[in-house]
A = this chain, B = another copy of it.
Amino acid sequence: MGVIGLGLMGSSIVTSLVISGHQVVALAPIAADLEQAPGYLRRHLERAQSLDITDRSVDYYMDRITLTESYQDLKKCALVLECVIEDRHIKAAVYDKIESQVAEKTIIGTNTSAIPISSLQQYLKYPRRFMGIHWAEPAYATRFLEITCGAETDTELAREVSVLAENWNKEPTLLQKDIRGFITNRLMYAIYREALSIQENDGVSLRDLDKAARYDMGSWIPLMGIFQRLDYMGTQTEMKTIRALMSKLSNRTNLPETMEDIVRDEYRGIHNGKGHFNYSPKECEKWKEAFSRFNRDMYFLSEKYAEFKPSKKEEIKS
Report A's interface with B, CB cutoff 8 A: 136, 142-144, 146, 171-177, 179-181, 183-195, 198-199, 201-228, 230-237, 239-243, 245-255, 258-259, 261-263, 266-271, 274-279, 286-287, 290-291, 294-295, 297-299, 301-302, 304-305, 308-310, 314-318
| Contact between chains at B191 and A191 (CB < 8 Å) | yes
| Contact between chains at B290 and A305 (CB < 8 Å) | yes
| Contact between chains at B194 and A187 (CB < 8 Å) | yes
Which B residues lie within 8 Å of A191 (CB)?
A: 187, 190-191, 226
| Contact between chains at A181 and B245 (CB < 8 Å) | yes
Q: Which of B188, B204, B248, B308 contacts A176 (CB 8 A)?
A: B204
Which B residues lie within 8 Å of A317 (CB)?
A: 258, 261
Known: A174-B204, A318-B206. A240 touches B263 (CB 8 A): yes
| Contact between chains at B234 and A268 (CB < 8 Å) | yes
Known contacts A146-B212, A236-B266; can you find 11 more A-B pairs with CB under 8 A?
A179-B198, A180-B248, A191-B191, A206-B316, A207-B309, A223-B294, A230-B269, A246-B252, A276-B316, A277-B315, A290-B305
Q: Identify the closest chain B residue to A233 (Cβ).
A: B269
Which B residues lie within 8 Å of A222 (CB)?
A: 214-215, 218-219, 221-222, 294, 298
Q: How far in angstroms is the closest Cβ of chain B from A244?
A: 9
A274 to B290, CA, bound (A): 40
Which B residues lie within 8 Å of A240 (CB)?
A: 263
Interface centre among A212, A243, A287 (most CB of B within 10 A): A212
Which B residues lie within 8 Å of A143 (CB)?
A: 215, 219
8 A-B residue pairs with CB within 8 Å: A173-B212, A186-B198, A195-B227, A199-B318, A205-B318, A219-B298, A230-B269, A240-B263
Q: How far in angstroms is the closest Cβ of chain B from A243?
A: 5
Which B residues lie within 8 Å of A291 (CB)?
A: 220, 223-224, 232
